[in-house]
Structures are given as structure tokens and as C-alpha cells.
Amino acid sequence: MKKKIVVLSGAGISAESGISTFRDQNGLWENHDIMEVASIDGWNKNPVLVLDFYNKRRTQLAELEPNIAHLTLADLEREFNVHIITQNVDDLHERAQSSNIIHLHGELRKACPENNKSKVEDIGFDKIEIGDKMNGVQKRPFIVWFGEDVPMLKQAINTVMTADILLIIGTSMNVYPADSLHDYAPNECKKYLIDPNKIADPNSAFHQINETATKGILIFKDLVINH
């Protein structure tokens, strides 16, 4: 039976494909206060701004491609049972052909009625405008915003609890609820962290790889295949 690798991925893995992160910009995301465009209060206050913001993100995503980190995670499925839990709303893991993906924060290429996130439709790279409706209700991006429940959290926890190998890549794991997910890994689970900025606590259970996602993933692949 293949060993199970559970990957916790975040903005850093997609940044190398050209997707902007907000935590490197003093809390601003494309010159917007993050709470204006990524909170339920922001949506209620100014849905036109929020729709425009995500329409632009969708247009940008259409021009980008998975990078070597996304592709290597997909390639690891040859040797391992790989499950990805991502904080990212892009579809780069899917386009890299990874098979098992949980999106904690929703998906950019999907929409739902503003009053019901259980009804979802694929919209590709199309825009959502004021007046576009599903089930007679205004459409909104299928995104989990600040101030909303995280419906995939329980499934994510259950996945981490069955990991043989845990990899954190491209994320500081500072955003609730992802910040506590690694705590659910079994004691015997081997843990790896790919991050160019952190200095691992000497007492940490994580084997740290101080590289960017695209460089660190190749080191990780060598470690897990050859050891």
C-alpha cells in the first residue's frame, strides 16, 4: 500500500506562477484592504467592488500556468497516495493533474447564490456581474471569506489524521483555521516544511527545507523517495 502524503499548500506555491499574495504587501491585496474584498462584511457593503476584484483575479488566472511545485506534487502520485489541502482558490493544482484536492477557502472558477453556498456552478474564467442570478438570487464568488464558516474543515482534519507524511508548502499557516491543521497529524507522521524565510525551532518536529516552493519540492521529493 502506498504511503499517504498530505500536503498543506498556500499562497507561496502559486506566487511562483505569478499570483499575488496579500500578506507580503502589508495587508493589502492588489491595493485593496483585504477586509474590503475578502470578508462577508465587505461583500454586504460593496458587492460591486468585490465582484470586480474577483473578476480581475479570474482574468489573471486564465493567463497563468502550474509551476514545477504543482507539477511535482502531481507526479508524486506515482509513488504515494497524495492528498492536497489548499488555502488557495486558484485551480493550478487541478491543472497540474493532482487527483485529491480539498479547497479550504473556495474556488475562484465557481459561483454560488449569495444566500446558499451548497449550490455551486462552474463559471470558468467568466465574469460575475450585478444582476447575474442563480435560483433567483444574486451570484457571488464561491469563496470562503473572513467571517464565514469553513465547510471543508472537518474533511481536512480527517485527512491530516491519516497522514504518513505531512508537507507544508507555501504557507505561514497563520490564518485560522489552517493554522491548527498540522496538530492533527499522527505522532509517527514525518513532517516537512518548505519555507525560504523561517528558521525552524530546534525542538520542532518538522524537517525544514529553506527554499522556495519550486526549489524545495525537488529536495522533498528526493528525501521521501530515497529515504
Domains and CATH numbers, the chain: 1-19+66-105+150-227 (3.40.50.1220), 21-63+107-143 (3.30.1600.10)
> All 3 cell numbers of residue 145?
471569506
Q: Does residue 201 have a pLDDT over 90?
A: no
Query: Tell me, what's the pLDDT at 45?
Result: 97
User: Rounded to whole angstroms, how far apart are CA atoms 70 and 61?
Assistant: 15
Q: How far is CA 36 from CA 9, 39, 127, in A?
A: 24, 7, 19
- pLDDT attached to residue 227: 74
* pLDDT reported for residue 178: 65
Chain segment 137-186, per-residue pLDDT in tens? 999 999 999 999 999 999 999 999 999 999 999 987 666 666 789 999 99
* Contact criterion met (CB below 8 Å) for 114 and 135: no
Least confident among 22-36, 106-120, 184-198: 22-36
DSSP strands (E only) in 10-161: 28-29, 32-33, 81-86, 101-103, 106-113, 121-122, 133-134, 137-143
- Alpha-carbon gap, residue 216 to 195, rounded angstroms: 8
Q: What strands lie across the sheet with 121-122, from one edge to the other? A: 121-122, 106-113, 137-143, 133-134
Asked if 22 and 34 touch (Cβ cutoff 8 Å), the reply is: yes
Round to whole Å and give the CA distance between 41 and 33.
Answer: 12
Catalytic residues: 105
Specify the pLDDT at position 20.
Answer: 76
Residue range 177-204: average pLDDT? 83
